[in-house]
A and B are shown apart, each in its own frame.
Chain A
């Protein structure tokens, strides 16, 4: 097992290096002169070519692709994300602030998703094919098809504009978290319901169930000790997908709710062409995503020993 975990860890490192190279390549090939962008941000006026050459030499842009890449990677490896090209302030503290707005919403959304999907899937699978089951499947299919930003706009329209129950814009109070979290939570609930439902149905079809019942194990005992673990394994792996869904949803949802979180941070940085900020968000997101998926891979192998040693 140690060997497998080490192999997975090594692979995660390779992938992160690849992600850093891809990010640098994208920013290097972005249209526009990067030196001009830095100079404009620094001096706030049109600068002569001599100054541009100076900036180019100072930032290492004229050294060519690979020297510039190593110059770029060095500070990042030491955890120094540099300064914003627009404001000149350090990127890292601003990023931490943004994450402190994003994390509670993401966790609350995940909680809402679990709280809705587990009971719904359990009720639906009591009698497969019943109207309740069909309802659950229909709701889940619908939930997967709705873009998060449109659902958010509809919720604003209903709960903030028409009913006036909840605030829609900003992040001043805890109540501001509810609508964004519900928006994302409904999406999480939809995809989780589908997966838990099919996990339970698949576990029910296993040949060991009649054997246990025949031997006098109670239906409840079978449900708890044999169906639940079987349905649980795919749920663990799907958390990687849910995280991706949350991060994708956050980009637009934070924009429509005007929250100063990671998604809003990213979109405004892109619009302002503030590349140090963009690369910080990209690399931190990749780090979180790869780490979570690494943990999921390890847990998955621990839960189901049959896959343990494969594909490492």
Chain B
């Protein structure tokens, strides 16, 4: 468990420390030196515009991991609010919100994200919107399930009888019991967001060049796949390693919290 979480933190540290660790400016173009093989000067080689791949990978971690954090956090907020509203808002609010959740689940999330981002126009903003809109449903389901089961708990009934407002009941009783379950869902959605960002970037609907996002880097590298195949390995490996680390951290977290996590 420790090792896995340490590994996940390593990736975050690499992203934060990119300006210190990166040997070159990730946007510095150096045409005479384009597509060079790994060497002492350019540890992972250079891309089609002569930019240093290692520096771009390090800065790319900021885009891929940072945006994935933002997206999964926004999804967490939206989903929790919707789930709690459904649990506490009465029969019809519940029916309406759960059918809305089902509607968003009626479509493979990543395909929906591709359509939304593509139709709204390729940009980082539409990508964030597309991936957020398609990522709140699991949180909503978990929050509703926990919320419904808490409603009949003695201490919640007592708090209501004591005249606490619904907001403070949510704040002091619902949120603390929700946190373990939501954290486990969140790790899974964080990993999915990384995959989503790189997929949209690879299709050209996400972060736009020249920004060093991993999926966008793969899109560039694919063109020169035959001459410099190594160039295509690194960004993909970065995606796989970070998703794997976060997934394993999530598994470890679920095992550690298993008594406090309701069925997910």
Q: Which residues of A contact B (CB under 8 A)?
A: 11, 14-16, 18-19, 22, 26-27, 30-31, 141-142, 144-147, 149-150, 153-154, 156-157, 161, 243-245, 247-248, 251-252, 255-256, 266-267, 270-271, 273, 275, 278, 282, 285-286, 289-290, 293
Residues in A with CB closer than 8 Å to B110 are: 248, 251
Contact between B203 and A251 (Cβ–Cβ < 8 Å)? Answer: yes
Name the A residues within 8 Å of B184 (CB-CB): none
Stretch from B55-63, B117-125, B158-166 that touches the partner: B117-125
Residues on B lying within 8 angstroms of A by beta carbon are 99-100, 102-104, 106-111, 114-116, 118-121, 191, 195, 198-199, 202-205, 215, 218, 222, 225-226, 229, 232-233, 236, 239-240, 243-244, 247-248
From the candidates B198, B229, B248, name the one contacting A147 in the complex (CB within 8 A): B198
Query: Given A18-B100, A286-B106, are A142 and B115 neighbors across the interface (CB < 8 Å)?
Result: no
Query: A149 near B229 (CB under 8 angstroms)?
Result: no
Known contacts A146-B240, A153-B218, A247-B108; 9 additional CB pairs below 8 A are A16-B106, A26-B116, A145-B191, A145-B240, A147-B202, A248-B110, A251-B111, A252-B203, A282-B107
Tell me the smallest distance from the CB of A242 to a CB of chain B, in Å.
11
Q: Is the CB of B203 within 8 A of A244?
A: no
Which A residues are in CB contact (< 8 Å) with B121?
30-31
In the bound complex, how far is the Cα of B203 from the Cα of A271, in angstroms?
10
Q: List 13 A-B contacts (CB under 8 A).
A: A27-B119, A30-B120, A145-B191, A145-B247, A146-B240, A149-B199, A150-B236, A247-B108, A248-B111, A251-B199, A255-B203, A270-B119, A289-B106
Residues of B within 8 A of A247 (CB): 108, 111
Most buried by B among A145, A245, A278: A145
The 9 closest A-B pairs by CB, nearest first: A18-B103, A270-B118, A150-B236, A248-B110, A145-B243, A244-B108, A145-B244, A247-B108, A15-B106
- Which single residue of chain B is at the shortest CB-CB distance from A156? B225
Bound Cα distance from A255 to B199, whole angstroms? 12
> In the assembly, what is the distance between CA of A16 and CA of B99, in Å?
10
- Residues B99 and A271 in contact, CB atoms below 8 Å apart: no
The one of A147, A153, A266 that contacts B232, using a Cβ cutoff of 8 Å: A153
